[in-house]
Amino acid sequence: MEIRAAQKGDEFGIMLLIQALAEYEKAPNEVSNTAEALGIHLFEEQICEAIVAEEISIIDGIESQQIVGFVLWYTSYSTWKGKCLYLEDFFVLPEFRTSGIGGKLFDKVVSIAKESGVKRMDWQVLEWNQLAIDFYQKRNAILDPEWLNGRLFF
């Protein structure tokens, strides 16, 4: 297993995981993004960044790679704190969840946040996703029940 920065070509594997995440979150028809657009946003416009967990296997002397997890984030801003990191999505395929990959991905993005000098890292977790809640609480994350999410679609 390798944890690395996303590179051109990974947008297709990441997009498969984004769709799997949408299915897990019971919203499979909500994804309108495409791998091509994601590639532009990650590698040309650089409005977001990502790391991936890639499983490398060799069967009959043939090497194959599969992206089995990812974290995607962007820089946000707090008038109270300054530069922040917003973790938009974090997902590991269910069959790889007990292997420690999620912890490695999360620790890596925390390290990236600290190295980049942000003052805060934010994300959302669905209230019914107890596995994710437990994961974050083990890492001493503050899950704030006071704030409601606002959103407009265009």
The residue extents of the domains of the chain are 2-138
Continuous H helices in 60-129:
101-115
Q: Which pLDDT belongs to residue 153?
A: 79
Is it true that domain 2-138 has CATH number 3.40.630.30? yes
Residue ranges of the alpha helices (H) in the chain?
10-24, 35-39, 101-115, 130-138
Per-residue pLDDT, 119: 96
| Residue 152 DSSP SS3 | coil
What is the pTM assigned to this prediction?
0.91
Active site residues: 136
pLDDT of residue 60: 83
3-class state of residue 55 by DSSP: strand
Contact 143, 125 (CB under 8 A): yes
Report pLDDT digits (tens) over 66-108: 999 999 999 999 999 999 999 999 999 999 998 999 999 999 9
Closest-CA residue to 87 (of 118, 138, 32, 124):
124
Do the beta carbons of residue 86 and residue 123 sit within 8 Å?
A: yes
Distance CA 15, CA 12 (A): 5
* Number of residues assigned to the chain: 154
Per-residue pLDDT of the chain (154 residues; tens, 9 = 90+): 899 999 999 999 999 999 999 999 999 999 999 999 999 999 999 999 999 999 988 888 888 889 999 999 999 999 999 999 999 999 999 999 989 999 999 999 999 999 999 999 999 999 999 999 999 999 999 999 888 788 877 8
Phi/psi of residue 104, nearest 5 degrees: -65, -40
Alpha helices in 42-119 (DSSP H): 101-115
| pLDDT the model gives residue 148 | 78
